Amino acid sequence: MITNVIKCKNPRCITTVEQEIDHIFKLTDKQNRVYRCIYCESKAR
Ligand SMILES: [Zn+2]
């Protein structure tokens, strides 16, 4: 899990709406290094 390194690009995500919330991403695919937002599950990169 990584916090406040990547920002979620989903305009409807709670991290975009709530400014005080931490941007937390979880590594869901180690081989392809896919990170997903824990709130909306959008892919990062
Ligand atoms: Zn998100």
Query: pTM score, two decimals?
Result: 0.86
- Quote the domain boundaries for residue 40: 2-44
Q: What is the dihedral of CA 44, 38, 9, 34, to 10 degrees?
A: 10
| Span from the CA of 43 to the centroid of ligand 1 (angstroms) | 8
What distance in angstroms lies between residue 36's CA and the mean position of ligand 1's atoms? 8
pLDDT at 45 over 90: no
Q: How many structural domains comprise the chain?
A: 1
Q: How many CB atoms lie within 10 A of CB 8?
A: 23
Taking ligand 1, which is a single-atom ion, which protein residues have CB atoms under 5 Å away?
8, 10, 13, 37, 39-40, 42
Q: What are phi and psi of 29, to 5 degrees?
A: -140, 100
Q: What is the pLDDT of residue 40?
A: 97
CA of 31 to the centre of ligand 1 (A): 22
Residue 6 in contact with residue 45, Cβ under 8 Å?
Answer: yes
CA of 29 to the centre of ligand 1 (A): 17
Q: Give residue-wise pLDDT tens across range 2-44.
A: 999 999 999 999 999 999 999 999 999 999 999 999 999 999 8
Per the CB < 8 A criterion, the answer to whether 43 and 9 are in contact is: no
> Is residue 35 within 8 Å of 6, Cβ to Cβ?
yes
Residue 9 belongs to a domain with what CATH number?
2.30.30.20
